[in-house]
Chains A and B, each alone.
Chain A
Amino acid sequence: MAPLANISKQDGAPELRRRSQLLFIFIVVAFLGLITRLVFLQIVEGERFTYLSENNRIRIKRVPGTRGMIFDREGQLLVDSRPSFDLIFVPEDSERPETTLKLLAGYLRRDPVELLKTFEENKSRAAFDELVLGRDIDWPAVVAVETHQLELPGVSLRARPRRNYSDGPMTAHVLGYLGEINQKQLKLLKDQGYVLGDEIGQYGLERRWEELLRGQSGGQQVEVDALGRRVRVLHEVTDVPGYTVHLTLDRQLQETAFEALKGKEGTIVALDVHSGAILAMASTPAFDPNAFARGIKADEWSGLIKDQLRPLSNRATQGQYPPGSTFKIVMSIAGLEEGVVQPDSVIQDPGFYSFGNRSFRDWKKGGHGAVNLHKAIVESCDTYFYQLGPKLGIDRIAKWANAFGLGEKTGIALDDERSGTIPSTEWKRKRYRQPWFPGETVSVAIGQGYVTVTPLQLANMMAAVANGGKLYRPYVVNKVESVDGATVREYGPEVIRTIELKPDTLKRVRAALADVVSAPHGTGAAARSQLVSIAGKTGTAQVVEMKGGYVKTEHLAYVNRDHAWFVSYAPVENPQVAIAVLVEHGGHGGDAAAPMAKKVFEKFIEIQKQSTDKQQVKADGESRAN
């Protein structure tokens, strides 16, 4: 062994031996410390960390069920869902989000400031939360994002079905629209599987029939790695598409009604007199439900709700207007049924009617001369009905108006229907805590005063007159089918009540209504058609009460102009369809509303002819084959 220097002792190191015993205690403490920490992490908090690791690992990808389609009565597609792409950004997955967004803006030819603003506004959200940069982006943008995928970390596309209303504003009020679920709805519907960001029917059929149209969302439980890349699918639930809904609406008739109303504010309702099936229901001004589908912009939305002309309101069911002279139909029937009117007795009309110390003016200066019931309806003589009003009394008028469904909701399956008002002594006591003044009955007799109705109610009333007294509940959904074509639900006529009417009453009223259109002095002459015989009644609902002289419509400020009514059915001999037309501030019903009804009736006849021709061709073909 080599000689070594500085070897001090050969008998070990006693001080070190002593210290190493202290050291041993130190080491024991240190290891106990580490073990304690592991007990805390793995045993005490183990469950929480397991949850966190699962949370890390598993992401749930929800696939909302494709919403059901909506067809018209002929099987024409009104609404479907087309594929669309949302632009998604997950800040966590991008190292430099700002740079990525600037690059993205370049590819999309969009303003980078706008994208960065969206990003900044949402900075408080968790970085792994996805940010929707654009909904339903156009095809070039989809291609651009796909092409540059590698340069755009964190940017992705998400395919989702987008609601497509093929006729846009034309069917807007009936079909309604979808919107993102709001906090209130979410709280209410959480149990039904809705989550934040889901779309839900917010108006019209989309809202009322949400449950059936919606379908069931499916989903994928996906395992992802630290970069959010999917590694594999752990579990998958397939989505179930919503039911297909077939409407009673006729697309062609709807189009005609909508076109007729173009440039006006108003509504046209057409329904089948033998079932209450709605054939057309147009309301203007309308809105484009597709704007909601692509994600309505804040200014578009505030424009819609602030608009004085209330484009979001369905005037057919939500508009309440004085019925004006159309109310004379109820008055006539009430008078005949109650035995108050002798149909052929004649009164003299000097152009006004005095009641108490008040004088009620007829619309025609100088009056109609000698008037019986028939003439009173045909020429819409106010004086005749003024004097009939007090004879009947308000409560008998109310009874008959209510019998025809006025003053009550029809119960159509569309939300927010209004009931209108049919006053009575009881109503006035409840509402104003005042007795009914007989003078008020005089105004009610010509559909003014407290009386208001919805256009749908009047259309339904006309249907009852046409079919002999059956008041049907108007309906718009015919059939609900599952995707494989199986019928889930079917709807048909539902009689609300049958109004007992004497045959003579019906005969007289119908004859007068036919003459309104066809007689030389009829107020509804503008509805006269070569193609179809029409029965109807015009109405002019006063918006403001005129004191003093007669003023021509053109000389009135627009908002003070009268609403124009035309309520009708056709054909006279064999009624099939009832139509109510209301044009807001349209002036006289005969001028403004009647021609619109005529257009729709003519279209109805044309459609009917088409289908009988088709059947004829089919029948011919079959007989030839035989």
Chain B
Amino acid sequence: MQIDRRLISHFDWPLLFFSLLFVAVGVTTIYSANYDMAAGHAGPLPMRQVTWLGLGLIAMFTALSFDYHYIDRLAYPFYASMLLLLVLVLVIGHSGGGSQRWINLGFFRLQPSEPAKLAVVLVMAKYFQSDEPARGYVLRDLWVPFVLVAPLIILTLVQPDLGTAIILGIVFISMILMSGLRLRSFGYLVGAGLAFLPVAWHFLKQYQRNRILTFLDPDRDPLGAGYHVIQSQIAIGSGRLFGKGYLHGTQNRLDFLPAQHTDFIFAVFSEEWGFVGCAILLVLYFIMIGYCLRQVQRAKDRFGALLIFGMIAIVFWHVVINVAMVAGVMPVVGVPLPMVSYGGSALATMMFALGVIMNVSMRRYVF
């Protein structure tokens, strides 16, 4: 593949800038979360996250290096390999914190449920790329995508990883809505979903049920399941307008916060930077998502637009669910804050997603 000069001139610098900015916020906050007061410096996590940034950049540039139309051919093989990895993780996976989520690659522990999120977008963009029927898709048309996505959701649920399963499901729903599902059909789907809820409840692990019950009533068990929610809200709330200052978050430093460097990193950030910091961070996400949304409108074909949209859906839902969960308006489910939470698999996945968007946007003039 030759390098087209037009490609370089249309390179999507803003998205690269955004991703580096979020990673920078991430690394500094991880430094604080991992700070050892006695030693006077942080543990190894911030440096590792910088290494994962390298991995992420590789993922991003891989994603934009080839014409996105190849994805049409790669979608199913990618999907199949994700399926394989998710099965593999159950067989030889590494457990931690009560669930089996990782495959140990020696230098790196891969969490296949992260890139699995991409597979949903790829296969659905492929499936829905042809022009929509005049009055939209009906339920009958959803069989194939449903059969494709359901195994991914089930495999993550059994790990168990409720957060990823929810992301997979919600991205799936976002995609079918965006692709042109008739509203009446969507209504049927919602109805069926509600009917399925009691069954789903049956399959949830006790701790997951507790989290949902605790969300509904955090004071149910203030020192058990409700502890994380309460402590996280205390951290955010006590940050007030300007925060307690970098490295001075007491909730964080004294370990009152759970999963400080991963799922609850927003609480660490909020405590130290206050409302002003939080608002700026959220506005940055909003601007980036709005910017990507413009790329949907500019995309030169439906396949590209769907790819961009799917990737936006991934980022958007991660931000909303993570912040809502940490701020106590949603049950605690394990969803990282895009590019800020610690984790190589998550970072590489997010940067790959941005890479796909960049791919489509820089090729909008290429015929």
Contacts and interface: CB of A to CB of B under 8 A. Distances in A.
A35 B131 contact: no
A15 B234 CA distance: 44
Interface in B314-331: 316, 320, 323-324, 327-329
Interface residues of B, number: 60
B336 interface: no
A15 B301 CA distance: 11
A12 B323 contact: no
Contacts of A49: 233-234, 236-238, 240
Nearest to A52: B234
Contacts of B180: 15, 19
A38 B238 contact: no
Interface stretch (B94-102, B165-173, B272-280, B350-358): B272-280
Interface stretch (B40-48, B50-58, B64-72): B64-72
B80 interface: no
Contact of B238 (A33, A34, A46, A231): A46
B275 A38 contact: yes
Contact of B69 (A4, A56, A226): A4
Interface string A448-481: 0000000000000000000000000000000000
A43 interface: yes
A6 B303 CA distance: 9
Contacts of A4: 67, 69-70, 72
Contacts of A38: 236, 270, 275, 278-279, 282, 327
A50 B249 CA distance: 11
A17 B235 contact: no
Contact of B251 (A6, A31, A53, A224): A53
A8 interface: yes
A27 B324 CA distance: 14
B300 interface: yes
Interface in A209-244: 223-227, 231
Given A12-B298, A35-B282, A49-B233, 14 more contacts: A2-B70, A7-B303, A12-B305, A13-B299, A39-B275, A42-B236, A42-B237, A42-B239, A43-B240, A46-B237, A49-B234, A54-B238, A128-B223, A226-B256
Interface in A484-520: none
30 contacts: A1-B67, A6-B129, A6-B130, A7-B69, A8-B303, A12-B297, A12-B300, A12-B301, A12-B305, A16-B296, A16-B305, A19-B180, A23-B293, A24-B290, A30-B316, A31-B283, A31-B286, A35-B282, A37-B328, A41-B236, A45-B237, A46-B241, A48-B237, A49-B234, A53-B235, A56-B254, A127-B223, A225-B254, A225-B255, A226-B254
B305 A13 contact: yes
Nearest to A21: B297
* A interface residue count range (under 10 / 10 to 19 / 20 to 34 / 35 or more): 35 or more
Contacts, number: 172
Contacts of A6: 72, 129-130, 303
B237 A2 contact: no
Interface string A128-166: 100000000000000000000000000000000000000
A20 interface: yes
B178 A19 contact: yes
Contacts of B300: 10-12
Interface in A176-233: 223-227, 231
Nearest to A46: B240
Interface of A: 1-2, 4-13, 15-17, 19-20, 23-24, 27-28, 30-31, 33-35, 37-39, 41-43, 45-50, 52-54, 56-57, 92, 127-128, 223-227, 231
A1 B282 CA distance: 40
Contacts of B238: 46, 49-50, 52-54
Contacts of A52: 234, 237-238
Given A27-B286, A56-B256, A42 B275 contact: yes
B367 interface: yes
Contacts of B282: 31, 34-35, 38
B306 interface: yes
A49 B320 CA distance: 23
B275 A9 contact: no
Nearest to B130: A8
Interface in B109-155: 129-132
B223 A92 contact: yes
Given A4-B69, A50-B240, A231 B254 contact: yes
B205 to A, nearest CB: 20
B366 to A, nearest CB: 8
- Shortest beta-carbon contacts, A-B, top 9: A49-B237, A46-B240, A53-B238, A13-B302, A226-B255, A4-B69, A225-B254, A42-B275, A41-B237
